Every structure is written in C-alpha cells, then in structure tokens.
A and B are shown apart, each in its own frame.
Chain A
Amino acid sequence: MKLLDFLRGERKKSASVAKERLQIIVAHQRGQRDQPDYMPMLERELLEVIRRYVKVEQDAISISLDRDDDCSVLELNVTLPRS
C-alpha cells in the first residue's frame, strides 16, 4: 500500500505528519497538567497489579482524574487482549 502511494506520488507531506503527532502528544501533556504528582506512580503500580493476572501491553492502560466541585472520579481504562 505504501509502495503504491509512493508510486502515485501521494506521499504525505511531512508537515502534516508533524501536526498530527503534535496534536496527540500535546493533548496527552495537557491531560497530565492538572493531575496530582502521584498519578504516574499510581499508573505504573496499577499496571503491575493487572499484569500479574493478565498479559497487557504498556500502552493498554490509561488513567485519568476528573474533578467536579464536590467529588473526583478516577477513571481507569484497560484494554484486555482477546482471549
């Protein structure tokens, strides 16, 4: 497929690749901006626990903390492999 694109001369411009990559990484950075300092550690340890039972990849887990006025919600998302 890539070869076909190449032959057709439809190579994606490098600037648009840069933009897509940046949008993802910046969104990720902003998500971490307001979170407490213990979050990366918490994420790592949760991943360890889950890995004791299921074989999951490093990036199969996402964790976020949403704060409302009177309560906080810790959201944990794990993509499990097909068994």
Chain B
Amino acid sequence: MAKIIVVTSGKGGVGKTTSAAAIATGLALRGNKTVVIDFDVGLRNLDLIMGCERRVVYDLVNVIQGEAGLNQALIRDKRVDNLHILPASQTRDKDALTSEGVEKVLESLSEDFDYILCDSPAGIERGAQLAMYFADEAVVVTNPEVSSVRDSDRILGLLASKTRRAERNQEPIKEHLLITRYNPARVDHGDMLNLEDIREILAIDLIGLIPESEAVLRASNQGIPVTHDANSDAGQAYTDTVSRLLGEDVPLRFHEYQKKSLLSRVFGGGRR
C-alpha cells in the first residue's frame, strides 16, 4: 500500500510544483518507489520542472477516460530509477477528472509504489479538491506572506472536512507545513513573518523550511529538480524535508540570518 501525499497551498505561485518535484525526487533517491501526479488539468507544468516535457505522450485524463493504460502514461525519470511522473492533460475540459477515475488510478498505482505525490493545482476548485481527497498526508506549502498564510488556513479547513478520511471519520490527514521562499535577512529586519509566527497562526507541524534561493530558478530553467543540486541551500533543505517525512529527526537549517563580515562583503559570497 502506497502512502498518498498531497502537495497543496490554495494560493498559486508559492512553490507547489517545485516542492512536489523536489520531494518526489528526494523520496526516490532514498530508495522509495515514487510516482508524482500532476493534477493541474489544463495548465500542466510538473513535466517541465521534472524535465520530461518532450516525453509526454498520454496523460492522467487519457488514463481516466480509458484511452491509454497506466503504464503507457507513466514517464520514467531519466535520473532516478524509482521515480515516475504522471502528467496532467492540456485539455481545457474541467470535468475531465472524475472522483471515481482518480480513485481507480490511485488504487492501481498503490499496488506498485511506496509513495504517491499529488501535485495540486492552485485554488479550491474541483482539481484541488480531487488532489487532496484520497490523501493520507498533506504538505501545505506556504510563503511568509499574508495572502499565502490565509489561503493555507483555508486549505487546512478543507483537509479537515472535504476529504475521504474526514468523510469516513477515519484518522485525520497528517498535515505538514512547508515554508518556502524564506528570507532570514528580511525576517531579521522585521519585514517578513518569521517561521514561529507562521507555525503559531496555522498551528501545524513544520516539516521543512526552504530558503529563498537562486538555485530554485536555476533548477527549473534546466528541468532538474532542485534536490539534485546537493550543494545548494534549497537542495539541502528539501533533502532535510524528505528525511523528516520519512520520520527522521533532522535539525532545522537555513533559518537564521548570518550577518556578512566585512571581508565577505568586499569579496562577495560563495555560490548560494
């Protein structure tokens, strides 16, 4: 039985797809058979971030509508053995996803995989609700910014009521907070919400903290999940996040502001 994890946020542009790709990569690098599914029907992007956009033949909607088998639609990752991608379709038909169809796909993936990551679309419409409906755990991606925090709280409300676990009165979905685009210098300056404040307001466990990093754009430019950039702060922060998802106790990094010494200011920092 696979563990189903939804990566969600409510607000768009906070790093859901980047995080889904990075976490899926990290889980697979740790030897777990992992599949990551793009639920953003009409606006697929996970394939780009994973660097497999030219290998998409069939997609999730094709599988649900019986036009292709699951194995035809799954794309094997070029870099990591245990990793597969199930892309979203570019069709504009919003009703292309059905609850029964998604359930069937997840059920058959569940037989072969250890982890199923569902990359949710932004918003709280059908696609987002279907992405979270069957989840066992949720990674709520949040930026240290008011609208993102508020939307995350809305999503927490949905996770607690509009999911299979909630409707069946089962053990609730395990909710994890993932803070992205965190800038310790601005927090130190008092111009950005600090992680304690966000955790206090949303009242869920912190699973990871990803610093704002040049490595993220560099990774998406190349279509290589940032986890592979093991020298970068963001890459290491995602690796830590994956370890915590696997139940390990890893101390938090990259959350403290290091004032630059005069010398390093003059000569410039190293690669971030």
Residues of A within 8 A of B (CB): 13-16, 18-19, 21-23, 25-26, 29-30, 33
Q: Do B190 and A29 touch across chains, with their CB atoms under 8 A apart? A: no
Nearest-CB residue, chain A, relative to B189: A13
Most buried by A among B161, B191, B201: B201
Q: Do A15 and B153 touch across chains, with their CB atoms under 8 A apart? A: no
User: Shortest Cβ distance from B201 into chain A, in angstroms?
Assistant: 5
Q: Do B150 and A15 touch across chains, with their CB atoms under 8 A apart? A: no
Partner of B201, one of A14, A16, A19, A33: A19
Classify the secondary structure of A's interface with B: helix
Q: Do A15 and B191 touch across chains, with their CB atoms under 8 A apart? A: yes
Q: Do B146 and A22 touch across chains, with their CB atoms under 8 A apart? A: yes
Q: Do B190 and A26 touch across chains, with their CB atoms under 8 A apart? A: no
How many inter-chain contacts with C-beta < 8 Å in the A-B complex?
Answer: 41
User: Shortest Cβ distance from B250 into chain A, in angstroms?
Assistant: 26
Residues of B within 8 A of A (CB): 145-146, 149-150, 153-154, 157, 160-161, 187, 189-194, 197, 201-202
Q: Do A16 and B190 touch across chains, with their CB atoms under 8 A apart? A: yes
**Complex alpha-carbon distance, A5 and B154, angstroms:** 36
In the complex with contacts A26-B201, A30-B157, A33-B161, A15-B187 CB distance below 8 A: yes
User: Shortest Cβ distance from B187 into chain A, in angstroms?
Assistant: 7
Most buried by B among A14, A26, A30: A26
**Complex alpha-carbon distance, A70 and B143, angstroms:** 41
Residues of B within 8 A of A25 (CB): 150
Known: A15-B191, A18-B145. 4 other contacts (CB 8 A): A16-B190, A22-B150, A30-B153, A33-B160
**Complex alpha-carbon distance, A19 and B190, angstroms:** 11
User: Shortest Cβ distance from B55 into chain A, in angstroms?
Assistant: 42
Residues of A within 8 A of B149 (CB): 22, 26
Residues of A within 8 A of B190 (CB): 13-16
Nearest-CB residue, chain B, relative to A14: B191
Instruction: Across the A-B interface, give the 6 residue pairs with the lowest CB-CB distance, nearest first.
Output: A13-B190, A33-B157, A19-B197, A26-B153, A18-B146, A15-B190
Residues of A within 8 A of B202 (CB): 26
